[in-house]
Structure 1
Amino acid sequence: MSLSATQKKHFRSLGHRLNPIVTVAGNGLSEGVQLEVDRALEDHELIKVKFNVGDREVKKALISELCDQTQAELVQQIGNIALLYRAAEEPDPKLSNLMR
């Protein structure tokens, strides 16, 4: 599910106005965090996740692991914020960040 450069550019422009929905902190990727990210992706399709971990390498590893576990695509990472995308099976126009 690789995104084209045009799609990424469009998603970045949509993601600019979004606030982080989930925060990953000291406990890392617990089951609750994974379930919440999965639910948020199903509802909103495009979400921001904030990572409050100190080391850059740990942050990159957590982002990669989260993308693998949720089958999401990393659109952009700036600082502690990652913008993730996964197409919903049945998008809800009232919830989807892509259809509003």
Structure 2
Amino acid sequence: MDLTGKQRRHLRALGHHLDPVVQLGKAGLTDGVVAAVDAALERHELVKIRLGTECPDELDDVADSLSEKLRAAVAQTLGRTILLYRRHPKEPKIKLPAGS
């Protein structure tokens, strides 16, 4: 899923006040973390993931891996935080602006 610049800005604005739903610790990106992020995306469409300081994985690697495994779009990576978006297939809550 590719997002336009306008859509990314919209999602970043919506995600600014969100608290991280999932946090990665010293075990890094595990199957349990992937399942938790998948469930959170199913419920919320837009989720924030925080990498703890003890997380052995790189931020960009985690973002790429999660977006690939969960068919989600990375709206932003900032510091040790990832903002992921996946449209709900039946009942979307977030209306994205038209891409251009």
TM-score normalised to structure 2 length:
0.83
Q: Which runs of 5+ in 2 are unaligned?
A: 96-100
* One-letter amino acid of the counterpart of residue 45, structure 1: E
Q: How does 1:10-89 map to 2 (within 5 A)?
A: 10-53=10-53, 58-89=58-89
Aligned residues: 95
CA deviations over 1:37-70 (Å, ceiling 9, x no partner): 0010011000100012468972221221111111
In 1, the alpha carbon distance for the partners of 2:12 and 2:80 equals 15
DSSP-derived class of the 1:89 partner: coil
Once residues 8 and 80 of structure 2 are traced to their aligned partners in structure 1, the CA distance between those partners, rounded to angstroms, is 19
**TM-score, normalising length from structure 1?**
0.83
Moved over 4 A (4+): 53-57
On the 8 A contact 2:22/2:36 being kept in 1, the answer is yes
Q: Which runs of 5+ in 1 are unaligned?
A: none
Please give the secondary structure, in 1, of the residue aligned with 2:89: coil
Q: Which residue in the other structure is 1:8 paired with? A: 8
- SS of corresponding position for 1:61: helix
Q: Deviations for 1:72-97, whole angstroms, at most 9, x for unmatched residues?
A: 110011101110000011237xxx4x
Quick one: distance in 1 between partners of 2:57 and 2:33?
Answer: 20
